């Protein structure tokens, strides 16, 4: 795996829900590409694109608007996005990392601050996080950051983003 294959890792156990990541993203891009959500348990947490190695969103997009870049980032080409009514890419993402905008561009997603990385800077959210919860790391480095506290907090957030089927079925 090339060193350039880096992704965001957010430690939900360290995240204080301050929304600095979302504000920094909005400042850079105009439309945030990382969004805060409040879980049923009251936890404020950022939801973001994981730039998956085998991205379901790319497979779901029938227009070719989502493609992996050479550095591993999954990039959205808005002019190719048809803003399809089905929002297949939104539904396909297991992490809730693609957002309907309600604006000119139908959907938005993180590009790991491509414009900042091009000049040697970190993604804005990673640079602005006041509690050190957001890391820009290689996929291999993520394993060392996954503590039991992270795993428990991550499960709570993911259960909110994609509730287990048992919670969705009527009794």
Average pLDDT over residues 78-103: 84
Q: What is the DSSP string of 62-114?
A: TTS-EEE-TTS-EEE-GGG----TT-HHHHH-TT--EEE-SSSSSEEE--S-H
Each residue of 62-78: pLDDT tens digit? 889 999 999 989 999 98
Query: What sign does the dihedral 20-164-98-58 (CA atoms) show?
Result: positive
161 or 141: which carries more pLDDT confidence? 141
Cα-based distances in Å from 57 to 37, 79, 83, 112: 20, 17, 14, 16
* Position 106 in a domain: yes
* Position 167 in a domain: no
- Assign residue 155 the CATH number of its domain: 3.30.70.20
Q: How many residues does the chain have?
A: 171
Domain with 16 in it:
6-162
- Short-list 15, 166, 35, CA closest to 99: 35
Per-residue confidence (pLDDT) for residue 40, from 0 to 100:
82
* Position 171 in a domain: no
Per-residue confidence (pLDDT) for residue 169, from 0 to 100:
52
- For the chain, the average pLDDT equals 89
* Position 13 in a domain: yes
CB atoms within 10 A of CB 168: 8
* pTM (predicted TM-score): 0.87
- For the chain, the domain total comes to 1
């Amino acid at each position: 795996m090339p060193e350039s294959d880096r992704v965001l890792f957010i430690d939900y156990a360290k995240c204080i829900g301050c929304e600095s990541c979302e504000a920094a993203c909005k400042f850079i891009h105009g439309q945030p590409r990382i969004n805060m959500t409040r879980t049923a348990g009251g936890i404020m947490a950022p939801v973001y694109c994981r730039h998956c190695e085998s991205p379901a969103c790319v497979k779901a997009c029938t227009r070719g608007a989502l493609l992996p870049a050479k550095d591993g980032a999954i990039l959205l080409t808005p002019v190719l996005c048809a803003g399809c009514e089905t929002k297949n890419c939104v539904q396909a993402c297991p992490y809730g990392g693609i957002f309907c905008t309600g604006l000119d561009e139908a959907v938005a997603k993180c590009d790991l601050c491509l414009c900042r990385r091009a000049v040697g800077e970190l993604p804005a959210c990673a640079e602005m996080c006041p509690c050190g919860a957001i890391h820009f790391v290689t996929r291999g480095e993520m394993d060392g950051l996954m503590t039991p506290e992270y795993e428990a907090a991550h499960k709570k957030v993911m259960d909110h983003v994609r509730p287990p089927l048992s919670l969705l079925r009527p009794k």
